[in-house]
Structure 1
């Protein structure tokens, strides 16, 4: 029996634009460790990223993942297919892609953790919204307490000099040695990857799922009046705390982690307001969001060519500001390339693989009718 594939869900422009926007912030954070083991050294560039990017854009991306899951559920219901089976297959494929991403391109992959957290979200999908939010608050609280405790105890999680030198040598070596180093690093710290996914990403997944069930982003008349207040709260309350945490030695990592979602929400509110005022904003960001997974992997591939032994082996050779300039340039090129690509293709390569896994067919772009049997 062939599984029915429902007609494509009508795309939500706001969702695509937010996803495309988040890709840029995620890349700015990731390129710190893509370009140099242990990330940027202390200084203005490091403080800038910590204040305005770190812990801000994965929050938005996770929210959008949870929202999109509700759309997958609706699609399955229209096709009279099993939402559970589709979601499990999709999450398992995310985990598989994530493992390949880790081994060959970037140890800081999020797709594996998203796949695990997605399965946890599936288990919570039938909870009432208020109950789901209460449950989600538990792992977020654990994360907040842990970060605060580590900060108060002055626990240093940064690489030592010898570890940094070994990592740098591995990055500059041939692809097999580099892949082996990345895999060993992941295998030895897999519990931290899973912990990050469950404590940090899952709560945002749940918030996104609750918003998706309410179809919030599909009804501008509901969210537009709220956006000025969201901006005011985020920029007025969250920004000073995040800046102070980034530029001082005060024990503010916990409060900064607590208010980071508020600043993320302010970013999103700003983009949504611009989206409704200027059509060009949609044209710039939405195409990249339509093929977000392909762009995410593409960022790692480009960085690997630049910084590792796969290509130019520039790891540790460039200044932090030069690296940030490269991030902006690469992201701008992705926005332009995405606009060109989506005019000619319906799905990106990674999206095609995920869709094939979700629907359990190698013809994920076709509508297949259920056959007797």
Structure 2
């Protein structure tokens, strides 16, 4: 999510497996496809988050310093990654809700207290994450939206999908109206004001512990309105995931192979077209005033791109169910919350005054290379860790809070 000043600066500087059967783990069931998709989504989330945490690349004198390779890298991230992977995580969150409810029923435990404890733990994790590490945290939003998800838990799948479509259209219309008014009635940000904002942000992030926390608190406050707006988009993905979970669509993907092929063929062109337009508005050649117009189109077409990614990945990995790639992604998915928080810890140590204070020091191309290295390390470490434990630290804590006992 975006703060007002952070948004202006970013706008100006941006020009499955063969078998669909569940794997049993103790008394509970794991659907491997969910873990695969979570592991895949981790990379997309990292590629987007790093640009916010690392800041715009500045030269020795504090001026913007952008090479063409960084511009290309930034443009590609916007077109291929931005606004797609938080939808995937949100979809999987909604799908997992149905599994958690079924687990409570099998255990003969009331679901409401379990769910309340779970979202309370998520809220506290998100609050700590947002205040101390990354103000673009989504766990806080997920915790609040979980209340809505619980309230509509008995909704019919078809009704849920229709409600999701209405929410997406509503968000897109709001962004389009705001964006068009921005184009019509505002001027591009003054370069001097831009540089002053960049320097202020850099000083805050390179400062001491208190300076970083104050900057994060300010960003959380300024992004509240955008959190509400984009929260509706996340809720839409929750509802689609809830509907998919009720239909058990990921429990046996082999039955849906022909449908998944059709989704890839039909959805990919739509998603690409919208994503390219969004990149043109956010990263150029259109100026920063077009940011929200591009975002409106992105919101409308991102679900198509996300669906194409999901189906394409499952089809690809289905041909090699026992391959190393599938095993690595599934392992990362089982540790998704731990990996997500670890990514923020690493980035905070690298880019803020907590550690190296490299805020604004590197361009996008270098940042992406670092992201791929970190992600590869997480894939390797996660596989080794799961040979010895069933849960990562964050997953263990969340499960303990949910069950109100030691897992």
Whether the TM-score (by the shorter chain) exceeds 0.5 is yes
Partner of 2:263: 230
Partner of 2:35: 16
| 2:319 equivalent to 1:277 | yes
Structure 2: distance between partners of 1:60 and 1:223:
19
Structure 1: distance between partners of 2:149 and 2:27:
23
Map Cα deviations across residues 7-29 of structure 1 (whole Å, 9 max, x no partner): 54211111100000000001000
Partner of 1:46: 74
Alignment map for 1:313-332 (pairs within 5 Å): 313-332=357-376
- 3-state DSSP class of the match of 2:108? coil
| 2:274 equivalent to 1:241 | yes
Unaligned runs of 5+ in 2: 1-24, 59-63
Q: Pick the aligned partner of 2:238 from 205, 209, 224.
A: 205
CA RMSD, 1 decimal: 2.2
| 2:212 equivalent to 1:178 | yes
Q: Does the 8 Å CA contact 1:37/1:168 hold for their aligned counterparts?
A: no
Map Cα deviations across residues 232-274 of structure 1 (whole Å, 9 max, x no partner): 1222222123113313537544223211111111111111012
Structure 1: distance between partners of 2:72 and 2:180:
23
Partner of 1:28: 47
Q: Does the 8 Å CA contact 2:171/2:229 hold for their aligned counterparts?
A: no
Partner of 2:344: 300
Structure 2: distance between partners of 1:36 and 1:84:
41
Alignment map for 1:146-157 (pairs within 5 Å): 146-154=174-182
Structure 1: distance between partners of 2:117 and 2:229:
22
Structure 2: distance between partners of 1:101 and 1:215:
32
- 3-state DSSP class of the match of 2:360? coil
Map Cα deviations across residues 270-298 of structure 1 (whole Å, 9 max, x no partner): 11012211122321200000010000000
| 2:133 equivalent to 1:105 | yes
TM-score, length of structure 2 as denominator length: 0.83
Aligned length: 357
TM-score, length of structure 1 as denominator length: 0.90
Structure 2: distance between partners of 1:194 and 1:258:
17
Q: Does the 8 Å CA contact 1:38/1:164 hold for their aligned counterparts?
A: no
Per-residue deviation, 1:139: 2.5
Partner of 2:299: 257
Structure 2: distance between partners of 1:191 and 1:82:
35
